[in-house]
Amino acid sequence: MSCGLGAIVLVFMLVKDNPERAEPETALLQADLSRLEQLHQELRSGIQALSDQSRSADSRVQSVSQELSRLQDEAAKNRDAADAKRQRLAALEETITQTNITTRSDVIEIPKAGQETYLIGLKVEGQKIGLLIDVSASMTDETLLAVIRRKNSSDLDKKAGPKWRRAKEIVSWLLARLPDRSQVSVVTYSDKAEHLGGQQWKPSRDPSSLEGILRDLEAVVPSGPTNLQAGLKAIHAMGPTHLYLVTDGLPTQGSAGYSRLNPFAACSALWGRSSNISGACRAQLFRHTIQDTWPTDRLPVNVILLPIEGDPGATFEYWQWAALSGGVLITPAETWP
């Protein structure tokens, strides 16, 4: 009986002892299971992220591929267009090479004139072309001191002045560029006006007439005051359709009748009673000269101005006259013509 009871007690103790040892193991297993489940979840999340990145990358690759294809197509079109342009250019070059260009021979030989007919918007044109050339003392040189020195020198020295040599080249350039079937008349002015080559119209394609004008021009000695009114009266009497004026500044002498007008009360130098001439007096004289001497219709006046120091208002006054008439004013570079 006691043996049976002892066995029962032993079994009870064994049964009671096993659960106590199993609980920690179960907890460990559950912790391992939780970690595995968390790792599994993290792996699934990572796989999902990689899948999303892969799809995004595939989308970008597809977009880049499409853009690359578009650029390749555009480049091909540009190459085709460039090839077509090169072919057209080659054809034009071939046409130009095979074209015989006929140039008009100059009636008079002007070594520096070339074949140009335009200069900064200036074109020699018209049916009856009047050339009006300032031959006053200031047309000999570029500065006032040099002009004063040449005033007291010989005629040969005056004719050798750099501005006067340039003025003669400009006249030659204009004569060489006269259009066909036009006529020309050339007038010089200082204190009075003179016709070069005779007081009549000369055909533009008559070499002897143009050479006669240049011979007379070569004999001119620049001297005296600038009486624009005298020059305008002489050329206006010829009835030109276009006027080309070569000068270096505003007039210094005009009609003695102006001396009785109020605007000229302080301009005694204009009538030879003083050695000082103000810019305001010269501008006033210019305006009265144009108003009284030149026609009111739109007869184009083109001015080639070779400015001299001390006459800053000349550019504006001549520009305004030329612009209102439909002509142009140019102050060319020293290297022209």
- Cβ 77 vs Cβ 69: under 8 Å: no
Instruction: Give the Cα separation of 70 and 293 in Å (integer).
Output: 73
Under CATH, which number does the domain 118-330 receive? 3.40.50.410
pLDDT, tens digit, for every residue of 6-24?
555 454 455 445 555 557 7
Residue 255, CA atoms < 13 Å, CB-side half-sphere: 16
48: its two tokens: 């999902």
Q: How confident is the model at residue 139 (pLDDT cuts 50, 70, 90)?
A: very high
Average pLDDT on 214-238 reads: 95
pLDDT, tens digit, for every residue of 168-194?
999 999 999 999 999 999 999 999 999
pTM of the model: 0.66
CB-based contacts of 313: which residues, under 8 Å, 6+ apart? Answer: 250, 279, 282, 283
Domain ranges (residues) in the chain: 14-101, 118-330
Instruction: Give the Cα separation of 301 and 235 in Å (integer).
Output: 12
21: its two tokens: 């040892």
Spatial CA neighbour of 247 closest among 182, 332, 178: 332
DSSP SS3 for 123: strand
Cα–chain center distance at 85 = 28
- Cβ 222 vs Cβ 152: under 8 Å: no
Distances 248 to 47, 97, 145, 151, 314 between C-alpha atoms, Å? 92, 44, 15, 16, 8
User: pLDDT over 70 for what percent of the chain?
Assistant: 80
pLDDT on residue 94: 82
